């Protein structure tokens, strides 16, 4: 499924009309999630993304966070039921507060 996540993230880099995407329950893991980090950084139209239940690792979440930090349009990112540790959740919460966005 990682190839599918990579293809969708690559498509979102050139597609400027998609505002909402639900990629939950695809089990693409950390490698697939890292591609979305680049997508978040460079896509100016995404507003709502659901990546719940995908076995996203802490390392991949850090890459996602880097993309989110520079994105000005993303309003909602769901990461429910991924194996993210407490330390990472606290870091995400702090970044969301700094960016004045709703947190997890």
Query: Which domains does the chain show, CATH number per domain?
Result: 2-98 (3.80.10.10)
Given the DSSP bridges, would you call strands 48-50 and 20-22 parallel, antiparallel or unpaired? parallel
Match 């966070």 to its residue by tokens.
65
The β-bridge partners of 78 are 50
Closest CA to 67 of 103, 33, 17: 33
Q: What is the pLDDT along the chain (104 residues), one digit of tens a residue?
A: 578 888 999 999 898 899 999 999 999 888 888 888 888 888 999 999 999 999 988 888 888 888 888 888 888 888 888 887 766 667 766 666 555 555 55
Threshold 0.85, pTM exceeds:
no
């Amino acid at each position: 499924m990682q190839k599918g996540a990579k293809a969708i993230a690559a498509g979102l880099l050139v597609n400027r009309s998609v505002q909402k995407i639900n990629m939950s329950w695809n089990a693409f893991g950390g490698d697939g999630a890292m591609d979305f980090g680049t997508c978040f950084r460079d896509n100016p139209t995404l507003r709502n993304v659901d990546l719940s239940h995908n076995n996203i690792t802490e390392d991949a979440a850090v890459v996602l966070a880097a993309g989110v930090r520079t994105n000005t349009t993303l309003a909602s990112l769901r990461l429910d039921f991924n194996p993210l540790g407490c330390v990472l959740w606290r870091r995400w919460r702090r970044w969301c507060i700094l960016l004045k966005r709703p947190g997890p």
